[in-house]
Amino acid sequence: MKKIAVIGAGPAGITAAYELSKAGLEVHVYEAGDQVGGLARTIDLWGQRVDIGPHRFFSNDPRINLLWLEVIGQDYEMVDRLTRIYYKGKFFHYPLRVFNALKNLGIFEAARCMVSYGLERMKPAKPAVSFEDWVTSRFGKRLFQIFFKTYTEKLWGIPCSELDPEFAVQRIKKLSLWEAVKNALSGGRGNKHKTLVDQFAYPKAGTGIVYRRMAEAVQARGGKVHLNSPVKKVIQTGQTATGILLADGTDLQFDHIISTMPISLMVSQLDSAPETVRESALKLRFRNTILVYLEIGGQNLFPDNWLYVHASELKTGRITNFRNWVPEIINGKDSTILVLEYWCYDEDPEWKAEDEYLIGLAEKEIGLTGLTDGYPVLNGKVVRLHRCYPVYSTGYKEILTPVTDYLKTVPGLTVIGRYGSFKYNNQDHSILMGMLAAENIAKNTTHDLWQINTDYEYQESAVITKTGLVRQ
């Protein structure tokens, strides 16, 4: 029997542990925090349940959906998605609704956008070297400036001209203005594009229940999930990964290590890594998130699941309304919990700011939007997430490649997840990484985990509905 260590209990790590325990292997999970789920965990707050930011689950891959349904059973609802863009005091539907966009932009601005798009389509096609190039070629310069630039630069803290187009390839994929218009005119019929889906499955107890149940299953099968157990480094014997060193100095031996800890930290601590590889790993940057939760003394504030804030006068980039997900997480309370997201780097003053300042900032900004309609703010709470977004600055692939090339030569070590593989994963990507990593270990398959969320395409398609899995 192989003995496996999994570093991190986020979606990728705990899924890998869940699948390995099903295969009869001995699994030990080491999580630095006090609960499983990582960025997709759910917390109790003011008598309600909230996620660590909005976590919509959607996949077309039947393997991922079957596993999700296996874990959650019937304990989910289908949520009608409403996400809009807040820009210049107006709300723009996303996916695009033609008449809503025309009304909010006005005839003159709408005409400018269409002319800008037309001019762009007349230009000879050329490879995009930045996120700005990629989006502009598909939407036109004017729509890029209105609907992409401000939000994206808030998120990443760098100009769009310095952001690699891979971010657009992974998150927007094949979407263009023409596809968005077709989707609007057809009412979304036949649409399979993740960015445009109008419904998604959501657990009645919050997203985190999926990963808590996986952890419970691991332990029921004899595995161990160690919370508050940060890992300092992966131990090597020669080139081979043979164990882990915990932060408290405990040295443990294993047959295989699965790591979801930030790739920059993990690689920089490997004894056999060449100095050039360690230096490259430390050049990889992560962006931090500050979540400011506000309890508002009112209901029916606005109908969206979340709003993208493109207003340049506001620092927040996204506002989530947890009252608009499923009623079970509200627990019968009369108040509404909102969360405002702010993004920064370690060196930015926001990251070091006092909680009282951040709560005051969020209270001021939510007031400026008019979304709370004068209802009082009853409570505030700050949650800081360190290194949660891998930064795809231009040229990052040249930095990442020697790191990944080296990791492919280390027997006994698999890296997965958003942190571990330096990929901007959704839940479904991380779940799939965990599943396939477990298969590689338990069944000696040779899945290329680096291709997930890059050139990965579904071999067949199926979606979750209220009645279960429906193949397309």
CATH number of the CATH domain containing 364: 3.90.660.20
SS3 assignment, position 45? strand
Are residue 154 and residue 8 in the same domain, yes or no? no
Are residue 121 and residue 263 in the same domain, yes or no? no
Please report the pLDDT score of residue 416 as a whole number: 97
In a domain, 192, yes or no: no
- Helix 275-283 and helix 396-407: axis angle, to 10°? 130
Are residue 401 and residue 278 in the same domain, yes or no? yes
Are residue 166 and residue 139 in the same domain, yes or no? yes
Are residue 163 and residue 250 in the same domain, yes or no? no
Please report the pLDDT score of residue 175 as a whole number: 60
Are residue 262 and residue 296 in the same domain, yes or no? no
* Domain end residue (candidates: 390, 409, 431): 390
Are residue 246 and residue 326 in the same domain, yes or no? no
Are residue 386 and residue 302 in the same domain, yes or no? yes
In a domain, 467, yes or no: no
Please report the pLDDT score of residue 313 as a whole number: 94
In a domain, 383, yes or no: yes
Q: Residue 390 has which token pair? A: 């891998």
- Helix 98-122 and helix 131-139: axis angle, to 10°? 110
Please report the pLDDT score of residue 469 as a whole number: 72
- Contact between 166 and 133 under an 8 Å Cβ cutoff? The reply is no
Q: Residue 239 has which token pair? A: 């080139």
Are residue 308 and residue 275 in the same domain, yes or no? no
In a domain, 160, yes or no: yes
Instruction: Let me know how long the chain is.
Output: 472
Domain residue limits at 117: 104-184
SS3 assignment, position 183? helix
CATH number at residue 427: 3.50.50.60
In a domain, 427, yes or no: yes
d(CA 248, CA 275): 26
Report how many domains make up the chain. 3
* Domain end residue (candidates: 337, 364, 390): 390
End-to-end CA distance of the chain: 39
* Domain end residue (candidates: 346, 371, 390): 390
In a domain, 195, yes or no: no
In a domain, 466, yes or no: no
In a domain, 86, yes or no: no
Per-residue pLDDT of the chain (472 residues; tens, 9 = 90+): 689 999 999 999 999 999 999 999 999 999 999 999 999 999 999 999 999 989 988 888 999 999 999 999 999 999 999 999 999 899 998 766 767 877 898 989 889 988 988 888 888 878 889 999 988 988 889 988 988 899 999 999 999 999 998 887 766 655 656 566 666 566 555 555 545 568 899 999 999 999 999 999 999 999 999 999 999 999 999 999 999 999 999 999 999 999 999 999 999 999 999 999 999 999 999 999 999 999 999 999 999 999 999 999 999 999 999 999 999 999 999 999 999 999 999 999 999 999 999 999 999 999 999 999 999 999 999 999 999 999 999 999 999 999 999 999 999 999 999 999 999 989 999 999 999 999 999 999 999 999 887 544 444 567 888 878 786 5
Are residue 376 and residue 401 in the same domain, yes or no? no
Are residue 143 and residue 12 in the same domain, yes or no? no
The phi, psi pair for 222, rounded to 5°, reads: 100, -5
Please report the pLDDT score of residue 468 as a whole number: 80
In sequence order, the 6+-apart residues with CB closer than 8 A to the CB of 390 are 284, 285, 286, 287, 418, 419, 422, 423, 424
Are residue 244 and residue 162 in the same domain, yes or no? no
- Torsion over CA: 341, 343, 346, 351 (sign): negative
Q: Residue 317 has which token pair? A: 């980039």
